[in-house]
Structure 1
Amino acid sequence: MSLQVLLVCGTGASSGFMAVSMRKVAKKKGLDYQIKARSESELENYLAETDVIMIGPHLSFMEAEIKQLVTGTDKKVILMNSDYYATLDGEKALDHLQSVLD
């Protein structure tokens, strides 16, 4: 079964580039991950079909609110690190994701 990952940022632009980077790495590693990017305003429209929500570091103030949205589900919420987010390092982002899943 494929893992549904949603990257969330302000407008969806920077997370869009990060999603592309992460998809390339996931494909290379043979991981069945569906990685999409959306703006924070669209988050609730995609919650039902999402397993993991990764939040852009500039939205750290929303982390508690998003965790509350998924309370009672097995969905994971991960705050991305600004070191790999700023450089759009998909490999480090994927490593972070997998460390939380393990």
Structure 2
Amino acid sequence: MSRKHILLICATGMSTNMLVSKMRKAAEKHKLEVNITAVSANDADARLISEEIDIILLGPQVRYMKSKFLKKVEEKQIEVHVIETKDYGMMNADKILLEVLNGTEQNTDE
């Protein structure tokens, strides 16, 4: 698998930083080549222009923006997923990371 760039988007970009740290540790543990960053919803557009993003993960608090991001990235073939509220709250980084990379996440929060 080639290196994937995952962009986590939440309301302010603050709460997601802890999850990013845990996801990076999970990636190391599983020997996965990923670049994971977090950004606020307000700053996401600039990142989508300036960086090569493969996967967008939306925090549960901004799940209502999924259709907006799908429309923005449809030509770039960027995947857009919503993190389940339970997994986000429990900072279940292993599950979130592995499910999104394997395309098996269960988005019940959409």
Pair 1:72 & 2:61 matched? no
* Matched-pair identity in %: 27
Cα RMSD (Å) of the superposition?
1.3
- The CA deviation string for residues 44-101 of structure 1, in whole angstroms up to 9 with x for no partner, is 1111421100000111110100100001122100111111100111111112212317
Q: Which residue of 1 aligns with 2:92?
A: 89
Pair 1:100 & 2:99 matched? no
Pair 1:43 & 2:44 matched? yes
Q: Which residue of 2 aligns with 1:5?
A: 6
**CA–CA distance in 2 between the matches of 1:52 and 1:98?**
9
* CA displacement at 1:5 relative to structure 2: 0.4
TM-score normalised according to structure 2 size: 0.86
**CA–CA distance in 2 between the matches of 1:87 and 1:21?**
11
1:4-43 equivalence runs, <5 A: 4-43=5-44
**CA–CA distance in 2 between the matches of 1:96 and 1:86?**
16
Gap runs ≥5 in structure 2: 105-110
TM-score normalised according to structure 1 size: 0.93
**CA–CA distance in 1 between the matches of 2:58 and 2:22?**
16
Q: How many residues align?
A: 101
* Shift >3 Å, 4+ stretches: none
What SS does the aligned partner of 2:74 have?
coil
